[in-house]
Structure 1
């Protein structure tokens, strides 16, 4: 399998994992609200971890969180795999750009370091312009 074909397949899997994580996030948020309401009703202090964990299991938040976390970690694993691959064609670069642009804010989580993402985007833009130039030269020579 060529590198770019592998990148496109990884990109497809990445988008699928992101979509599943987004769908599971709604359930996670809903059960989190139930968990907070139940903890507040019972006046459970933050330090009482054992009781809070029991409430989280009862209202379904713990299961919803684990389901979301599993798909989200899969999306991050795929994002890193995409980042390790070398693109040579424009479709391959499109997949790499989507992985770099993967925004943690989509999931109300901590963002990735923007400086690192900016450096990757700058490097990718240079590689894309080189690849586009190669494709234009090859297309013009035909």
Structure 2
């Protein structure tokens, strides 16, 4: 699993459809916005390790974690984190797990975070989404599990 983790001062995710745009997840104030990609060999154990890391990693102001402050997380699936654009002009997505594998594992990350006590908001798997955030710092970290 791969996660792009941004310390934010507010973030939201909206789903775009023919009917319009609807906000499906939003956090206000200090928190983490997490984009999660899944690859073929990821498992529920990988998801559990990522959740534990996200809950305890000290990225918030004053080198604190969400577990210490109760700060919320906005978790959004993003298969493009496993895109490979080293050759040619068009990325390949061969390293990204298919939706049938990825969706349950992203759900597992969210469930594990909630079991740890986290307030978690999410996007909508497979939907056309728009993410808005205020990166605080700016502060962005890449996690590979």
- Quick check: TM above 0.5? no
Normalising to structure 2: TM-score of the pair?
0.26
Higher percent of residues as strand: 2
Higher relative CO (Cα under 8 Å, sequence separation at least 6) belongs to 2
